[in-house]
Protein backbone atom coordinates (compact mmCIF):
# COMPACT_ATOMS: atom_id res chain seq x y z
CA UNK A 1 0.00 0.00 0.00
CA UNK A 2 1.29 3.37 -1.09
CA UNK A 3 1.07 6.25 1.32
CA UNK A 4 -0.12 9.43 -0.31
CA UNK A 5 0.15 12.99 0.97
CA UNK A 6 -3.08 15.01 1.14
CA UNK A 7 -2.15 17.11 -1.92
CA UNK A 8 -1.71 13.93 -3.90
CA UNK A 9 -5.17 12.71 -2.95
CA UNK A 10 -6.58 16.11 -3.88
CA UNK A 11 -5.01 16.06 -7.31
CA UNK A 12 -6.21 12.52 -7.99
CA UNK A 13 -9.66 13.78 -7.19
CA UNK A 14 -9.47 16.87 -9.41
CA UNK A 15 -7.76 15.10 -12.29
CA UNK A 16 -10.19 12.23 -12.35
CA UNK A 17 -13.18 14.58 -12.28
CA UNK A 18 -11.67 16.27 -15.32
CA UNK A 19 -11.18 13.03 -17.21
CA UNK A 20 -14.56 11.61 -16.27
CA UNK A 21 -16.18 14.73 -17.69
CA UNK A 22 -14.31 13.99 -20.88
CA UNK A 23 -15.92 10.56 -20.99
CA UNK A 24 -13.44 8.30 -19.19
CA UNK A 25 -14.75 5.71 -16.68
CA UNK A 26 -13.98 6.67 -13.05
CA UNK A 27 -11.66 3.81 -12.18
CA UNK A 28 -9.55 4.34 -15.28
CA UNK A 29 -9.35 8.04 -14.54
CA UNK A 30 -8.26 7.47 -10.94
CA UNK A 31 -5.61 4.96 -11.95
CA UNK A 32 -4.15 7.37 -14.50
CA UNK A 33 -4.15 10.17 -11.96
CA UNK A 34 -2.51 7.95 -9.33
CA UNK A 35 0.25 7.01 -11.76
CA UNK A 36 0.85 10.70 -12.38
CA UNK A 37 1.16 11.81 -8.75
CA UNK A 38 2.66 8.78 -7.04
CA UNK A 39 6.27 9.13 -5.88
CA UNK A 40 6.95 5.73 -7.39
CA UNK A 41 6.32 5.80 -11.13
CA UNK A 42 5.81 2.06 -11.41
CA UNK A 43 3.13 0.46 -9.30
CA UNK A 44 1.95 -3.12 -9.00
CA UNK A 45 -1.60 -4.29 -9.47
CA UNK A 46 -2.05 -4.67 -5.73
CA UNK A 47 -0.53 -1.32 -4.84
CA UNK A 48 -3.02 0.33 -7.17
CA UNK A 49 -5.91 -1.72 -5.82
CA UNK A 50 -5.07 -0.99 -2.18
CA UNK A 51 -4.28 2.67 -2.64
CA UNK A 52 -7.46 3.37 -4.56
CA UNK A 53 -9.41 0.99 -2.36
CA UNK A 54 -11.08 -0.71 -5.31
CA UNK A 55 -11.94 -4.27 -6.24
CA UNK A 56 -9.59 -6.53 -8.17
CA UNK A 57 -12.06 -6.87 -11.02
CA UNK A 58 -12.44 -3.14 -11.48
CA UNK A 59 -8.67 -2.59 -11.42
CA UNK A 60 -8.06 -5.49 -13.79
CA UNK A 61 -10.48 -4.35 -16.49
CA UNK A 62 -9.49 -0.71 -16.16
CA UNK A 63 -5.78 -1.49 -16.43
CA UNK A 64 -6.33 -3.71 -19.44
CA UNK A 65 -8.22 -1.09 -21.39
CA UNK A 66 -5.67 1.56 -20.39
CA UNK A 67 -2.89 -0.64 -21.74
CA UNK A 68 -4.92 -1.31 -24.89
CA UNK A 69 -5.39 2.42 -25.42
CA UNK A 70 -1.67 3.09 -24.93
CA UNK A 71 -2.32 5.21 -21.86
CA UNK A 72 -0.45 2.91 -19.53
CA UNK A 73 2.44 0.56 -20.14
CA UNK A 74 2.88 -2.73 -18.38
CA UNK A 75 6.38 -3.73 -17.40
CA UNK A 76 7.62 -7.11 -16.30
CA UNK A 77 10.83 -7.50 -14.38
CA UNK A 78 12.56 -10.85 -14.94
CA UNK A 79 12.39 -13.01 -11.84
CA UNK A 80 9.33 -11.13 -10.60
CA UNK A 81 5.91 -12.46 -11.42
CA UNK A 82 4.17 -9.19 -10.73
CA UNK A 83 3.50 -6.75 -13.52
CA UNK A 84 4.35 -3.11 -12.97
CA UNK A 85 2.23 -0.37 -14.47
CA UNK A 86 3.51 3.00 -15.62
CA UNK A 87 1.90 6.08 -17.15
CA UNK A 88 2.72 6.33 -20.85
CA UNK A 89 3.58 10.02 -20.78
CA UNK A 90 5.68 9.55 -23.90
CA UNK A 91 2.57 8.69 -25.91
CA UNK A 92 0.63 11.80 -24.91
CA UNK A 93 1.65 13.53 -28.11
CA UNK A 94 0.66 10.62 -30.35
CA UNK A 95 -2.61 10.10 -28.49
CA UNK A 96 -3.44 13.76 -28.93
CA UNK A 97 -2.76 13.47 -32.64
CA UNK A 98 -4.98 10.40 -32.96
CA UNK A 99 -7.75 12.13 -31.04
CA UNK A 100 -7.63 15.20 -33.24
CA UNK A 101 -7.60 13.14 -36.40
CA UNK A 102 -10.65 11.26 -35.23
CA UNK A 103 -12.42 14.58 -34.63
CA UNK A 104 -11.49 15.86 -38.06
CA UNK A 105 -12.66 12.66 -39.72
CA UNK A 106 -16.19 14.04 -39.44
CA UNK A 107 -15.37 15.79 -42.70
CA UNK A 108 -16.05 12.57 -44.60
CA UNK A 109 -19.64 12.66 -43.40
CA UNK A 110 -20.06 16.38 -44.06
CA UNK A 111 -19.03 15.81 -47.67
CA UNK A 112 -21.56 13.02 -47.95
CA UNK A 113 -24.21 15.36 -46.62
CA UNK A 114 -23.29 18.01 -49.14
CA UNK A 115 -23.64 15.43 -51.89
CA UNK A 116 -27.12 14.50 -50.73
CA UNK A 117 -28.55 17.99 -50.08
CA UNK A 118 -30.98 19.84 -52.33
CA UNK A 119 -29.32 22.45 -54.48
CA UNK A 120 -32.17 24.81 -53.53
CA UNK A 121 -30.69 25.98 -50.22
CA UNK A 122 -27.73 27.86 -51.62
CA UNK A 123 -26.80 29.83 -48.51
CA UNK A 124 -26.90 26.84 -46.25
CA UNK A 125 -24.88 24.76 -48.71
CA UNK A 126 -22.32 27.51 -48.95
CA UNK A 127 -21.99 27.55 -45.16
CA UNK A 128 -21.56 23.79 -45.20
CA UNK A 129 -18.87 24.05 -47.87
CA UNK A 130 -17.17 26.55 -45.65
CA UNK A 131 -17.12 24.20 -42.68
CA UNK A 132 -15.66 21.50 -44.90
CA UNK A 133 -13.00 23.89 -46.15
CA UNK A 134 -12.23 24.88 -42.56
CA UNK A 135 -11.74 21.29 -41.48
CA UNK A 136 -9.53 20.59 -44.47
CA UNK A 137 -7.51 23.66 -43.58
CA UNK A 138 -7.15 22.42 -40.02
CA UNK A 139 -5.98 19.04 -41.23
CA UNK A 140 -3.18 20.57 -43.25
CA UNK A 141 -2.16 23.06 -40.59
CA UNK A 142 -2.20 20.56 -37.75
CA UNK A 143 0.07 18.17 -39.61
CA UNK A 144 2.49 21.04 -40.00
CA UNK A 145 2.20 21.95 -36.33
CA UNK A 146 2.97 18.39 -35.26
CA UNK A 147 5.87 18.28 -37.69
CA UNK A 148 7.24 21.53 -36.32
CA UNK A 149 7.09 20.16 -32.79
CA UNK A 150 8.89 16.98 -33.77
CA UNK A 151 11.62 18.94 -35.52
CA UNK A 152 12.10 21.17 -32.48
CA UNK A 153 12.42 18.11 -30.29
CA UNK A 154 15.02 16.51 -32.55
CA UNK A 155 17.09 19.68 -32.62
CA UNK A 156 17.20 19.75 -28.85
CA UNK A 157 19.25 16.56 -28.70
Partner DNA sequence: AAGTTGGTTCTTTTGATTCAGAACCAAAAG
Partner DNA sequence: CTTTTGGTTCTGAATCAAAAGAACCAACTT
Question: Which of 2, 58, 67, 138 lies at the binding interface for its own copies (CB under 8 A)?
Answer: 138
4 binds, among DNA, its own copies, none (CB under 5 to 8 A by kind): none
77 binds, among its own copies, DNA, none (CB under 5 to 8 A by kind): none
54 three-class SS:
coil
Neighbours of 107 (CB within 10 A): 17
Judged by beta carbon, residue 57 or residue 121, the one nearer DNA is 57
Strands 42-44 vs 72-76: parallel, antiparallel or unpaired: unpaired
Judged by beta carbon, residue 23 or residue 115, the one nearer DNA is 23
154 three-class SS:
helix
Sign of CA pseudo-dihedral 46, 59, 75, 94: negative
44 binds DNA (CB under 7 A): yes
Judged by beta carbon, residue 5 or residue 56, the one nearer its own copies is 5
Question: Which of 32, 35, 63, 66 lies at the binding interface for DNA (CB under 7 A)?
Answer: 63
How many residues in the chain?
Answer: 157
Rounded distance between C-alpha atoms, residue 55 and residue 127, angstroms: 51
14 binds, among its own copies, DNA, none (CB under 5 to 8 A by kind): its own copies
Amino acid sequence: MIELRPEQHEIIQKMSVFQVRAGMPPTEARILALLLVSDQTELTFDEIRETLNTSKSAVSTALNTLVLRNKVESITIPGDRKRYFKHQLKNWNANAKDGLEKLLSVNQLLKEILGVRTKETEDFNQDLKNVIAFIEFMQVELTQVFQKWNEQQENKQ
